[in-house]
Structure 1
């Protein structure tokens, strides 16, 4: 069956019609636009290999993310980049292709940091293999990690091997009443100390800080930091990861700013939230051309970039325009892997590349 499905994928690619890669469709809203016939990956599913002692799991692209997480949970392990589902149908292929991360990303690493290897179906219908299934088997130019966040524009991720980590033995969430500037300052101060911080969220004068690790380390950090402990905080952090908190429920467009953690408070009238130790700023605001230009200028001045994450007028461009040199490199990579622009046309950029 797996070989038959790969052959079917290859036939679809070699037919030359534009294809839109789709698993559960939980992130159809993410990116510039959807174009092409649907290439449904859900039939190509299943965990191929999982050896808990090696801290590596390999799964086919259509495998539900919930299935992968359930298998890991049985062994007290996890995907440390804490990927959001944004819906019950999320698949592991879409998780890697979108490259989105949850609260733990600031201390554990991004999606790409956990990709050890992948099999890719390119725009010519060829199956390519990169990396491997063990942590020592990644050498040279690591193409597999480039697939994280590529939104399927380099090809169809058929299979992926991911590094996993043990679940922490203890967790505690502390609450502090702090203004925006003080919260950023505190987060940077704490980030320079050996504290087991695994998540942070500031909004409307309240900072929540998650501690994870050995019981002794979490207890010592809690005593050193003070604050009020939030009981049963797991649901809160799920709300942050899955964007279920009231902050995310507004009607305005949702902007995401990736900045150096030391960047100061942003003086805007828009509703704001901060996570990842100050490196991730969320804004609820309009998305007209004037605002997009202004917020991207602010992000650039701080050394970062701004993304129109959800909602709003996508004609302003969802993703921050790359510098010319980086844009040229990206275009050459897409041309090498998908010369006929079969996969996910227009998903990343306003202009067509066909």
Structure 2
């Protein structure tokens, strides 16, 4: 089944939805914490609070810092404050037939832009359109000394120097409190459809690798419970031609599947067991540790349930050139949810933390003990 969109271009400048600018309060709070050497635990909507190592500190609530401050559909750029809900941003974009192409998961209706960028999460479209980091053009943030800093800008081509704003993507607030972000957006595809083939995991993985090498308008490639699903997005003619080439059957519930995969609402994710996130090359072999596994990103992202020790998971992922993360523990889990980082990479982490947050008050230890 195809879904159709009609393109239109409208120029909107200095656009703003109802919101609040509380940047002054946030700056004052961080500055006071710096003066008193008081640790801060940064919080937005709280939908991703399960992610990262446990943090002890006074909560700094960014969720009240809201509003879309600029949106220019013709320039494919939107700017919003960190506490703005993703639901609001995507609603604004949908009115102009545009999308956040990295397809960020919400994990809850109150998910915010700041938390999404801080976690760096991207959805099923990521290997075909780009990651969250690829779409960040600029960020305003507060460092660990209470200083308001601006990096990047609101233009797609920016040659102002090293793109520090992208360091904030996936940094979990360890380098700064994100206050505002500018993102590149893309037009909605003209049509989308999902093809489904019944294949075992090993055969599906081989087929994924083959498909990734073909000039097809693929925007999603996932295998779960014996079914390989292939999402096609683009022009009507392009998608129709690809559909004929792929074979298989049309998944009438394809749109619902990709939404549930993105939001971890599939039955696969409803287990009382720790969930591992393993990022590897799409061509990497199986980790051979047993347990249940869902393949996404054409095999480059693997969601795994098993009872192996953290060391075993970290080592297994490293042996195939990737890394494992304890994504969602089933109970209290000690620090050490991320794979150990060796030198010289850890030295870079430490020096960046010292430059942005010399007293280490911002989400201390959320990534690593000294970061």
TM-score, normalising length: structure 2? 0.91
Note if contact 2:30-2:144 (Cα within 8 Å) is conserved in structure 1: no
* Aligned counterparts of 2:192 and 2:335: Cα–Cα separation in 1: 41
Residue in 1 that maps onto 2:326 = 308
Decide whether aligned partners of structure 1 residues 14 and 191 sit closer, same or farther in structure 2, where only a CA change above 3 A counts: same
Aligned with residue 194 of structure 1, among 204, 209, 215? 215
Residue in 2 that maps onto 1:322 = 341
Cα displacement (A) at 1:267? 2.6
* Aligned counterparts of 1:110 and 1:226: Cα–Cα separation in 2: 29
* Aligned counterparts of 1:97 and 1:194: Cα–Cα separation in 2: 33
Residue in 2 that maps onto 1:108 = 129
Note if contact 2:45-2:112 (Cα within 8 Å) is conserved in structure 1: yes
Indicate whether 1:117 and 2:135 are aligned: no
Decide whether aligned partners of structure 1 residues 160 and 11 sit closer, same or farther in structure 2, where only a CA change above 3 A counts: same
Equivalent residue runs for 1:54-203 within 5 Å: 54-203=75-224
Helix, strand or coil at the partner of 1:331: helix
Cα displacement (A) at 1:5? 3.0
Helix, strand or coil at the partner of 2:49: coil
* Aligned counterparts of 2:70 and 2:317: Cα–Cα separation in 1: 42
Post-superposition, which runs of at least 4 consecutive aligned residues in structure 1 deviate over 6 A? Answer: none
Note if contact 2:31-2:147 (Cα within 8 Å) is conserved in structure 1: no
Note if contact 2:78-2:184 (Cα within 8 Å) is conserved in structure 1: yes
Cα displacement (A) at 1:106? 1.1
Gaps of 5+ in 1: none
Note if contact 2:103-2:122 (Cα within 8 Å) is conserved in structure 1: yes
Indicate whether 1:267 and 2:288 are aligned: yes
Deviations 1:197-229 (A, max 9, x none): 111221222111111111111111010000111
Say how many residue pairs are matched: 349
Indicate whether 1:8 and 2:28 are aligned: yes
* Aligned counterparts of 1:184 and 1:221: Cα–Cα separation in 2: 19
* Aligned counterparts of 1:184 and 1:212: Cα–Cα separation in 2: 21
* Aligned counterparts of 1:138 and 1:90: Cα–Cα separation in 2: 31
Decide whether aligned partners of structure 1 residues 316 and 2 sit closer, same or farther in structure 2, where only a CA change above 3 A counts: closer
Cα displacement (A) at 1:286? 2.3
* Aligned counterparts of 2:351 and 2:291: Cα–Cα separation in 1: 38
Q: Over aligned residues, Cα RMSD in angstroms?
A: 1.5
Indicate whether 1:294 and 2:312 are aligned: yes
Deviates more, 1:98-107 or 1:225-234: 225-234
Decide whether aligned partners of structure 1 residues 79 and 217 sit closer, same or farther in structure 2, where only a CA change above 3 A counts: same
